[in-house]
């Protein structure tokens, strides 16, 4: 199972599993389609949006652990 880290870019995380997008949206991170966000690290994006980077890292990893058969080709 892939583990997301705070130094991974938003683009890298979404390429692992697009279905984690709602985790970002729920924390107010609605700019996932913005070209700039694709190159931001999870930590950078979290701080810009006033979110604890450890919290979002955990939420994404919890989602991935609960959905091990999903991949970047999965649709919601």
pLDDT tens profile 10-64: 999 999 999 999 998 988 888 787 787 788 999 998 998 899 999 999 999 999 9
Is the confidence at residue 74, as pLDDT, over 70? no
Please report the DSSP string for the chain in residue order: -----TTSBHHHHHHH-GGGHHHHHHTT---TTSHHHHHSBHHHHHHHTT--HHHHHHHHHHHHHH-TT--TT---
Is the confidence at residue 72, as pLDDT, over 70? no
Pairwise CA distance, residues 71 & 16, whole Å:
6
* pTM for this predicted structure: 0.85
């Amino acid at each position: 199972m892939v583990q997301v880290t705070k130094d991974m870019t938003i683009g890298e995380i979404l390429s692992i599993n697009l279905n984690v997008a709602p985790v970002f949206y729920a924390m107010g991170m609605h700019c996932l389609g913005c070209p700039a966000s694709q190159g931001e690290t999870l930590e950078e994006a979290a701080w810009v949006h006033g979110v604890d980077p450890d919290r979002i890292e955990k939420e994404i990893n919890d989602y991935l652990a609960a959905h091990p058969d999903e991949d970047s080709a999965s649709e919601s």
